[in-house]
Structures are given as C-alpha cells and as structure tokens.
Chain A
Amino acid sequence: MSIILEAKGVSKHFGGLKAVEKVDMQVKEGSIFGIIGPNGAGKTTFFNLCSGTYKVTSGQILFGGQDITNLPPEEVAKKGLIRTFQNIKLFQYLSVLENVKVGCHINTRTSVFDAIFHTKTYHQDEEYATEKANRVLEEVGLTEYKDWKAGNLPYGYQRKVEIARALAAEPKVLLLDEPAAGMNPAETWSLLEFIQKIRDKGHTIVVIEHDMKFVMNLCDYIMVLSFGEKICEGTPDMVKNDKNVQEAYFGRGIIQKSNELNQEGA
C-alpha cells in the first residue's frame, strides 16, 4: 500500500507560539489514520496546514507524491483531499440535497456560458449532480431528510450531511475533524461503522478525535500530538501503552502515583 498523504517536518509558528513543530506523518492509502492529543495540541492547526487553510512556516506536505504545501484550499480540494470542520460548517439555510450538490462542484464543469445557454455540458452536469447527491444521501441513509433545511436537522445528522457532502466530491482522502463531537454512544457507534464503510469503498480517512474508545476501535494507525509535537505513533495497542502518551493525558504526577500504587499492591 502506498503512502497517499505525507507530512515532512511540518511546522507552524504564530509569532512566538509554536502551534505545530516538526511533525512527520505518513498515511497509507486505504487506511484509517487517527490523530489524537490533549486539547490545544495543535491537531486542528495541523489539519488546516494539510488542507491549505494555513500556510506552513516550514516543512512539506505531499499528496500522492505531489507537493501541495501552501496551495490554497480550493486547489487542495481539487486534488482529492476534502476536509470537514470541527464545528460543522453546513450551509444552514440550504436544503440537505442542495448542500450535497455543492459537493459535486469539483467534478462538474458548467461555465457561465453553459448555464445561460443550457448547453449539453449544463444538462450533463445537472443530471450528474442530482443523481450523485441522491445516491450519496441514500448511502448515508438520509434520503428522507433531503428537502429539510440543513440547520433544522439534529446534530448527529448534520454531521452525517457534512460527511455526505464531502463524499460527493469523490475524495481520495477524507480529513474528519472531531466527527464524533457532541454525539451520544449510540450515535458514535453508528458513526464508527459508517466510517468503516467509507473506508471499505476505497477512501483513505484521517480522523481527529478525543473519544478514546472511538479512536482505538476505529483506527489502523494513530499519531499522538502534544503541545504541537508528535510524541508517539503506532497501532492502537502501542499507543495505549506508551508512557509519553499516558503522561501527556494524565500528567506525570498521576502516572508516578499509579505506578507506586501498583507496586505496593503487587
């Protein structure tokens, strides 16, 4: 399996603040890659660097071997890297179907001329967009809500619409920023299965998450960030047992205490 998304020594400094510092990442095609870390670790900043929302201070980002460092977000999206946002950026007032249709923008070509004169391109694109949007909604299981205003849906469904919209763009790699935020355990589990289904269809997925159970059960490979630096990476088991990760999450004092207690008990 080839490396489809790679970061080499990527750093982002805001003046004196080192939000991301020399992070390397290699995501294998067709895998589910997790990025975890305590709050403020720089995970979303890192996503923003990959997707072109921020410019890197130094380092390189490669997508399918191509250098995409510092490309504007729309160019990155065109290459096949689509992201979702931590606080769900749906077009609140548009219908669910219209939201997903916007996702079809990348793969359609209608220009102003085509639109005014209803050329063949226009008709082809409209057919494609409608058909694709409906199909994606069916796969996601939201067909009955397609005419609802997106902002009126319950939170968990809104998240799914955002992912559906991203899927309509036929991404090679999907960057999901805290997709399980605000979900109850049942919704979280359904989301987990949903993401696995997306992976089975051939997409590569990178996920930022806080929910440990979710991440450990879902991801093939995990990277841990803390204060902008990578402190560990590996399979879920490796990460679970890593001392640095435990310290980052629970603090050195507690780890030492728990070690002492374990030794006393033994």
Chain B
Amino acid sequence: MSTPDASVEARTPRFAARARWRAVGRFISGYGIVLSLIIMVVFLSFASESFLSVINLMNILRQVSINGIMAMGMTFVILTAGIDLSIGSTLAIAGVVTGGLVVGDHPQSPVLATLAGVLIGVLFGSINGALIARCRVPPFVATLGMMSMARGATLLYSGGRPTPELSANFLFLGQGFLLGIPFPVIVFAAVFLFSWIVLRFTVYGRWVYAVGGNPRSAKTSGVNTNAVVFSVYVVMGALAGLAGPILAARTTTALPQAGLGYELDAIAAVVIGGTSLTGGVGSVANTLIGTLIIGVMNNGLDLMGVSSYYQQIVKGAIIVLAVLIDQSRQKNP
C-alpha cells in the first residue's frame, strides 16, 4: 500500500498520530542498531571496571579488525543479494602463500608478500565472480564449492603444515602499533573508509545498490549488471586476501587451518548491521556497527566471566533478532 503524501495525512489528528508513531518506528529501525551498541557500552561500563579503559577498547578493536575487514567486502556482496562462503578458505591460502614468502634466510619484502596474498584473493574472487555472473551458478553453490577447493589448495600448497618463524618486520602487519594504535585497526579503518566512500560517493557504488535492489531496472537503465556482480566478488576476494597475511602476522604463524568459520562471522556482522539479505538496502557503516556489537559482546561476556559457550548462543540469538527486525521493517516500510 502506498502512503499518500504527508500533508494529506496531517489533516486529521488520528492520521497525524499514526504518522508520528510511524516516524518513531522508522527512527528505531534506522538507528536501533546504534542505540543497541550504546546501551551495551553503557551497561558494560557499569558492570565491569576494566571495560571502559583505553587498553580494553583497543583490544576490542584489534580483535574485530580481521572480521571487520572481511565484513566490509561481504557488505558489497550481500548488497547485490549475493553471498560468499569461500572467504575463510581464501584467507587461509593468502596467509600461507604470504607466509611462505617471508620465511627463511632471504625473506621477501613484507609489502610485496602481502600484495601477493591480496592477488591470490583477487584470483579466487574472480573465479567466484565469473561462475556467478557469467555462468549463472547461484552464489551459495559457487562459493560453497570454492570454500572446499580453496581449502584443499591451501593444504596442498602448505603440505598441511604451519609456516612458523615469519620474518620480524612482517609481524608488524599484525602486531605493530602506529601512533599508539594497533596496525590491524589502522588497516581496518582504511578499508572501512575506502568502502564507505566507494559505496556512497561513486558511480560504482550506485550501481551496486541498483543491481541488488532491482537488477532488471538497473539493466534497463544501461548498467552492466554482470560486470557489477563479478566485481563485488573480486572486492571480497581482495579483502579476504588482505586479511590472511594480517592474521598470519598476528599469530606469528601461517596456519593452513586458519579462517575456519570466518565467513559466518562476516555474514553475521553484515546481518546484525541491518543490511538486507535480499539486496539493495544497507551500508558499510551499518556493518561497522554490527562488527563492533559482536566484538563488544564477546569482550563484555569475557570480562564478566561468562563461558564462551554462552557467547555463541548469544551471538546466534542476536543474528536471528536482527533478521526479525529486518523482516518487520520490510512488512511496514
């Protein structure tokens, strides 16, 4: 049912009251996610002495940065009504390849090695994108297959063994500080800023939203929808390829088993942020909040001494709740 313009509604008090409630509802569904984060932070500051300290807050940011980087890419994918399940495996192979380049007596430059990891991610993302945009394989299936293939490739490449003793200057990527801020957090911030600008201020960003909102309309308007769909998986792959070396540097070892289940955490952050799985609605700012909510929740439950088993239950409940809110919003826009 379409809503008549506001001036008509305002004529009678009953309509005006209803319009006001609807505005309140819209505000809550628009900013509810920010409110929940604020409520959590306020609650935890009282519940735990150590929560609101610079060290702890930095700690939270460092913990979420890997998931945050991947969730930014996942936002691109989900905005086009797609999904990418392969990113945990992509992260692992990028980490292992990068790790292999920075060990031994003549380690490569950390920058070049990391770039190699990103390129590996781009390669795997391109295969996903081609399968989905060109061959019309459903995203769930294509990336499910890639999840297994990339993991297998990782194990083959590494022989199933971890790559320890990565070069000291490479470890800066995961453990270093710049102006007192952990380096992964700086990378995360840069990725967020870049994604935000791209989606909000560029032609490409408009296309991503349009393709997710209504591909047929986008096509009628002259948008090359196949190219846009292809590109979001490349972006996703590149970011997973960036996250791999960071994780390896943080844990000082490149593990072929790294990143198991990370795709689900990234999807969770996007969904909790309120980006619609049906495409076209959402933003990376929402995803940032979603990422922080997961991080703050895990940290808070840790500080309060709650078992990590409970943390999983709470996280699951939040995901379902977020989708329920999204559903009711779609019913009464």
The answer to whether A and B assemble together is no
Contact residues of B with A, CB < 8 Å? none
Contact residues of A with B, CB < 8 Å? none
